[in-house]
Amino acid sequence: MSANELFKRITTSPEICHGKPCIRGLRYPVEWLLELLSGPTSEAEILADYPDLEPDDLRAAHAYAARLVRIKRFESLPAA
């Protein structure tokens, strides 16, 4: 599956998770999936625990993160 096809699995809606990027309109924010994937839980365990997720959903979360880190420049925000 191409990156563009994977990105179609990432959706945003103000009515779902406050507009955060989610998987296929489900209430699974990409950031949450990335946290799970970075921990001790395996992809197989995630898919078993959340049967409405598909392997390509996890690949989409990885692709989304990879695209985000391509940002050319970061600027520090002043402390509030």
Predicted pLDDT of residue 51: 96
Please calculate the CA angle 8-71-74 and round it to the nearest 5 degrees: 140
What domains sit in the chain, N to C, each tagged with a CATH number?
Answer: 3-68 (1.10.10.10)
State pLDDT tens for residues 32-71: 999 999 999 999 999 999 999 999 999 999 999 998 888 7
Q: Which amino acid is at 45?
A: E
> Is residue 73 over pLDDT 80?
no
Alpha-carbon gap, residue 27 to 50, rounded angstroms? 11
Helical residues (DSSP H) of the chain, grouped into ranges: 3-7, 30-38, 43-49, 55-68
